[in-house]
Amino acid sequence: MKEKIIGKKIGLQMLVFMILLMIASVVGMVKGAMIIDEGGLPILFIAGLVVFGLSFFVIPGLKVLKPQEALVLTLFGKYKGTIRGEGFYFVNPFCQSFNPASQTKLSQSGDVKTSTSVASALTSLSSTGKEIALSKQNKISLKVMTLNNSRQKINDCLGNPVEISVAVMWKIVDTAKAVFNVDNYKEYLSLQCDSAVRQIVKIYPYDIAQGVDTTGDGKADEGSLRGSSEVVVERIRGEIQSRVENAGIEIVEARITYLAYAPEIAAVMLQRQQASAIIDARKMIVDGAVGMVEMALERLEKNQMVKLDEERKAQMVSNLLVVLCGNHDAQPVINSGSIY
């Protein structure tokens, strides 16, 4: 089903016409009553009364919309069309607004929970009053809204449990699809967001891992949830968009708002990261120390300052490595004798 734009911004003209019609009907009823008192026929009075009553049927056809708002209208159960954009409209008075997600409250912008006092006031209204009050909530917002679903626990590609939360910016581009193609477009979007996030997250490891293919080209790469966040959120956005296309929803942007290991393995993974960092630091220290030892031996041989045999070279290398790779400052020891 495709969206069909209807409605003309002639609400003000119709309102003025209705007021003039009511005034004319009242004047007609007054004159008709005078004719009846004089013994005449009550035709003018009945006509004025009928016109006055029929003028009230015009009121439901008057619709006021703010910027970035839309109203889906049905006529006797059939989709009549959509009015969108700010203005004072007039439509068929028998048309009814329809929005199955008007009462759905999600953790997102644009959804404000009804307070207790307001709720108690609504329950005290009559059935007619309820319909009038709820008809205002049938408007569909065309603004960009943010959906922040609850935090999910998902296993990454290595089987490690990860907690992640994603904020999705979305808007409605086709009101007919949003209202009629799915039962409740807000709940549908929330469910598809959870499913898409789970589908994408399980492709990536939390940190860079060896031998993991995240792109699907058969080659190992360095993709990860922590290091490739822009790529991950773009894939999440595309996955959600493909799932909600039939609901007339456009996904503008997606952002990761929370990402961490699950509490049950967070401490172990922290120790693992610390151990990896220590190993990398030690490797860098050893590489630098070996280079410095090589440079020292080459300089000594080049300048012919001393002649060292293999045993003295080995002792010198050992002493330099101890000094350069040690965690604490070395204590100088003066050798007054010979090593032989």
The three-state DSSP-derived secondary structure of 83-139 is EECCEEEECCCCCEECCCCCCCCCCECCCCCCCHHHHHHHHCCCHHHHHHHHHHHHC
Q: How far apart are the first and last CA of the chain?
A: 98
Tell me what pLDDT residue 132 has: 42
Distance CA 337, CA 223 (A): 59
The answer to whether residues 111 and 36 touch, using CB atoms and an 8 Å cutoff, is no
How would you classify residue 153: left for phi > 0, otherwise alpha for psi between -120 and 50, otherwise beta? Answer: beta
Cα-based torsion angle of the residue sequence 147, 148, 154, 157 in order, rounded to the nearest 10 degrees: 70
The pTM of the whole model exceeds 0.75: no
Distance CA 139, CA 82 (A): 11
Question: How does pLDDT run across 205-255, given as a tens digit for each residue?
Answer: 988 888 888 888 888 888 899 888 899 999 999 999 999 999 999 999 999
Residue 304 CA: distances (Å) to CA of 145, 225, 226, 311: 77, 56, 54, 18
Tell me what pLDDT residue 330 has: 65
How would you classify residue 114: left for phi > 0, otherwise alpha for psi between -120 and 50, otherwise beta? Answer: beta
Tokens of 40: 């005449």
Intervals of the chain under pLDDT 70: 39-41, 107-137, 266, 306, 327-340
Domains, the chain: 11-141 (no CATH), 145-266 (3.30.479.30), 270-325 (no CATH)
- Tell me which residue of 196, 184, 180, 183 sits closest to 251, measured CA to CA: 196
Residue 115 CA: distances (Å) to CA of 14, 120, 122, 136, 272: 36, 9, 11, 17, 49
Tokens of 24: 């004319």
Tell me what pLDDT residue 332 has: 67
Tell me what pLDDT residue 121 has: 38
The answer to whether residues 339 and 312 touch, using CB atoms and an 8 Å cutoff, is yes
Helix (H, G, I), strand (E, B) or coil at 339: coil
Tell me what pLDDT residue 313 has: 74
